[in-house]
């Protein structure tokens, strides 16, 4: 602990962002990198507390409390304070393969469980994390480190999202020959097409790490869908082990009247097409096929995906954007039933809502609203939505159910709707071909810690095993699966 009184003397200051009306003009990352002195001051606030909940990663109240990959947060906070950046990077990479990803897109459960956060604003852990790794790239400290020898074992990793990349990286470092299969045209999965460029730059950040892994010996095979282009049974014959990291890609639908109208899209289709168009056209300013230019946009659903739809629609030049949420507005402060170190379930204004408010004068979110039907313009195109307000109460069996408030029924204009209501689980083609067992939620059945399915030599990790979750949990699972695959192949393992 570099400065015992740091948390008493220094106030929390997060990384500044470009002003909303400035940043919506382009697709560039909108975070502004702070200077070294600022970061050292913020690092001094870390208390070196006796029990640092920030890196425990326990599940409390059904959500992660602290970092799921057990980042050594107090250690690299102290090293930054002491201006020992290269050592801080080494400590960061011991637990996190891709801190440039998590430092940009993770919601930071570590900060939610920071001990200082009980009485003061928590340490700016996420800002410091991303700054450490960005400096490592800038200084040339991050270079290819291929394994000294190969084991002769071959492993296939199916899916190149954060779980698949983490698994491939660890197995490659253990000396196995790793091939990653990705059905999209670019590597990255959720990191490439599920998160907009202004949050996570695809060329400067994602592809940079992929190129490093290639230089270290990982083989990437894009445009190849296992179960379709190559059968899962055929793949199994060609490798010593397989790890499925295919994500939870079946979106939750809204089967109400008018669902078939032109203009109603799943959020991930909207976001994927936009990012692919940007990359294919080198950001030339043209619009993708699904776009929001001069349209009234309604985003149904909250969370990160809903926010990303709001931010993307604004950058397209939408006429208006509204976000509908079926749940009530969260409180401004922790409630009695949401104590520390649980993740604080409080009202937040994310970047998309900030931008919409700057343009429209108010938060785009409307709470306790249900959509009844999509309205046809007479030509098969979306013209609006019929919505109604609800209230939540318990039924005879004690379950929370919504009750419609009939006098609140109204229509709102919309020519584009994005459905951002979460995901139901993985697609089932591979499970059917290999006879993999699934749980009641259709996720591939494999215990956390062992990650092996009911078929010998076949493992599962990430959202396809645990359901929709955070990038940092995907990295946790990818690393864990790699460790167990290494043990399966070699009889023992030295992977962390």
Domains of the chain, residue spans: 6-139, 154-250+424-490, 253-421
pLDDT of residue 61: 78
Q: What is the C-alpha to C-alpha distance for residues 91 and 73, in angstroms, rounded to an integer?
A: 9
The pLDDT-based confidence of 16 (bands split at 50, 70, 90) is: confident
The pair of structure tokens assigned to 176 is 């196995």
How many other C-beta atoms lie within 10 A of the C-beta of residue 18? 16
φ and ψ of 404, to 5 deg: -75, 140
pLDDT of residue 47: 84
Between 3.55.40.20, 3.50.50.60, 3.30.450.20, 3.90.660.10, what CATH number should domain 154-250+424-490 receive?
3.50.50.60
The pLDDT-based confidence of 1 (bands split at 50, 70, 90) is: low
pLDDT tens per residue, range 415-474: 999 999 999 999 999 999 999 999 999 999 999 999 999 999 999 999 999 999 999 999
Q: Which residues contact 398 (CB under 8 A, 6 or more apart)?
A: none
- Find out whether 411 and 419 touch, Cβ atoms under 8 Å: no
| 3-class DSSP assignment, residue 441 | coil
Domain covering 6-139, topology: Fumarate Reductase Iron-sulfur Protein; Chain B, domain 2 (1.10.1060)
pLDDT of residue 63: 78
The pair of structure tokens assigned to 410 is 């109204």
pLDDT of residue 58: 83
pLDDT tens per residue, range 349-393: 999 999 999 999 999 999 999 999 999 999 999 999 999 999 999
Bridge partners (DSSP) listed for residue 370: 388
Is residue 15 scored above 80 in pLDDT? no
DSSP string, 203-215: IIIIHHHHHHHHH
- Find out whether 128 and 79 touch, Cβ atoms under 8 Å: no
Domain 154-250+424-490 and domain 253-421 have a common topology: yes
Provide the pairing of β-strand 154-158 with 63-65: unpaired
Q: What is the mean pLDDT of residues 315-332?
A: 97
Q: Is the omega angle on the peptide bond into residue 341 within 30 degrees of 0, that is, cis? A: yes
Alpha-carbon Rg for the chain, nearest whole angstrom, is 23
What b/e string do you get for 368-395 counting C-beta neighbours within 10 Å, with b at 16 or more? bbbbbebbbeeeeebbbbbbbbbeeeee
Q: What is the mean pLDDT of residues 393-413?
A: 94
Cα 351 to chain centroid distance, Å, stands at: 15
pLDDT of residue 32: 87
Helix (H) or strand (E) segment spanning residue 40: helix 36-43
Q: What is the C-alpha to C-alpha distance for residues 147 and 350, in angstroms, rounded to an integer?
A: 41
Is residue 236 scored above 70 in pLDDT? yes
| Percent of the residues in the chain that have a pLDDT greater than 90, as a whole number | 91
DSSP string, 373-403: EEEE-SSSBEEEEEEEEEEEEE-TTS-EEEE
pLDDT of residue 2: 64
pLDDT tens per residue, range 204-214: 999 999 999 99
Helix axes 303-316, 267-280, angle to 10 degrees: 50
pLDDT tens per residue, range 71-110: 999 999 999 999 999 999 999 999 999 999 999 999 999 9
Greater pLDDT, 65 or 308? 308
Residue 122: name the closest of 134, 113, 135 by CA: 113
Superfamily of domain 253-421 in CATH is: FAD/NAD(P)-binding domain (3.50.50.60)
Q: Which residues contact 458 (CB under 8 A, 6 or more apart)?
A: 236, 241, 242, 244, 434, 436, 452
The mean pLDDT value of the chain amounts to 95
Q: What pTM was computed for the model?
A: 0.95
pLDDT tens per residue, range 149-199: 999 999 999 999 999 999 999 999 999 999 999 999 999 999 999 999 999
Residue 47: name the closest of 83, 7, 87, 77 by CA: 7
pLDDT tens per residue, range 112-151: 999 999 999 999 999 999 999 999 999 999 999 999 999 9
Q: What is the C-alpha to C-alpha distance for residues 465 and 445, in angstroms, rounded to an integer?
A: 6
DSSP string, 276-300: HHHHHTTS-S---SS--TT-EEEEE
| Percent of the residues in the chain that have a pLDDT greater than 70, as a whole number | 100
């Amino acid at each position: 602990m570099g400065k015992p009184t740091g948390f008493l003397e220094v106030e929390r200051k997060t990384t500044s962002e470009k002003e909303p009306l400035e940043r919506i003009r382009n697709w560039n990352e909108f975070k502004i990198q702070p200077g070294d002195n600022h970061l050292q001051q913020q690092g001094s606030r870390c208390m070196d507390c006796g029990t640092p909940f920030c890196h425990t990663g326990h599940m409390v109240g059904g959500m992660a409390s602290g970092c799921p990959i057990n980042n050594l947060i107090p250690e690299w906070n102290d090293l930054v304070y002491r201006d020992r950046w290269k050592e801080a990077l080494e400590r960061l990479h011991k637990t996190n393969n891709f801190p440039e990803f998590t430092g940009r897109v993770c919601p930071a459960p570590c900060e939610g469980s920071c001990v200082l956060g009980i009485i003061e604003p928590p340490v700016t852990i996420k800002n410091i994390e991303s700054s450490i790794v960005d400096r490592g790239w800038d200084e040339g400290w991050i270079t290819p480190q291929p394994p000294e020898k190969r084991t002769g074992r071959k492993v296939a990793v199916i899916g190149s999202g954060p779980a698949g990349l983490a698994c491939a990286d660890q197995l490659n470092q253990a000396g196995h020959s790793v091939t990653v299969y990705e059905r999209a045209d670019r590597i990255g999965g959720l990191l490439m097409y599920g998160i907009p460029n202004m949050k996570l730059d695809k060329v400067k950040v994602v592809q940079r790490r992929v190129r490093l892994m290639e230089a270290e010996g990982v083989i990437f095979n894009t445009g190849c869908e296992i179960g379709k282009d190559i059968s899962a049974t055929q793949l199994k014959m060609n490798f010593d082990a397989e790890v499925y990291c295919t994500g939870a890609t079946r979106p939750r639908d809204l089967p109400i009247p008018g669902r078939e109208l032109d203009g109603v899209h799943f959020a991930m289709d909207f976001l994927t097409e936009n990012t692919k168009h940007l990359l294919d056209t080198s950001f030339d300013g043209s619009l993708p096929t699904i776009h929001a230019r001069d349209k009234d946009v309604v985003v149904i659903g909250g969370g990160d995906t809903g926010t990303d739809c709001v931010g993307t629609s604004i950058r397209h030049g939408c006429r208006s954007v509204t976000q509908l949420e079926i749940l009530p507005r969260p409180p401004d402060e922790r409630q009695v039933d949401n104590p520390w170190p649980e993740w604080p379930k409080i009202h937040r204004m994310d970047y998309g809502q900030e931008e919409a408010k700057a343009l429209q004068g108010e938060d785009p979110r409307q709470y306790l609203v249900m959509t009844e039907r999509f309205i046809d313009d007479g030509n098969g195109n979306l013209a609006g939505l019929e919505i109604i307000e609800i209230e939540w109460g318990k039924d005879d069996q004690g379950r929370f159910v919504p009750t419609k408030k009939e006098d609140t029924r109204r229509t709102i204009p919309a020519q584009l709707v994005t459905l951002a209501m979460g995901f139901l689980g993985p697609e089932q083609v591979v499970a059917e071909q290999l006879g993999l067992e699934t749980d009641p939620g259709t996720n591939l059945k494999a215990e956390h810690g062992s990650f092996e399915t009911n078929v010998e030599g076949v493992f599962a990790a990430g959202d396809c095993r645990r359901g929709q979750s955070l990038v940092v949990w995907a990295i946790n699972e990818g690393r864990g699966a790699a460790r167990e695959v290494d043990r399966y192949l070699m009889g023992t393992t030295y992977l962390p």
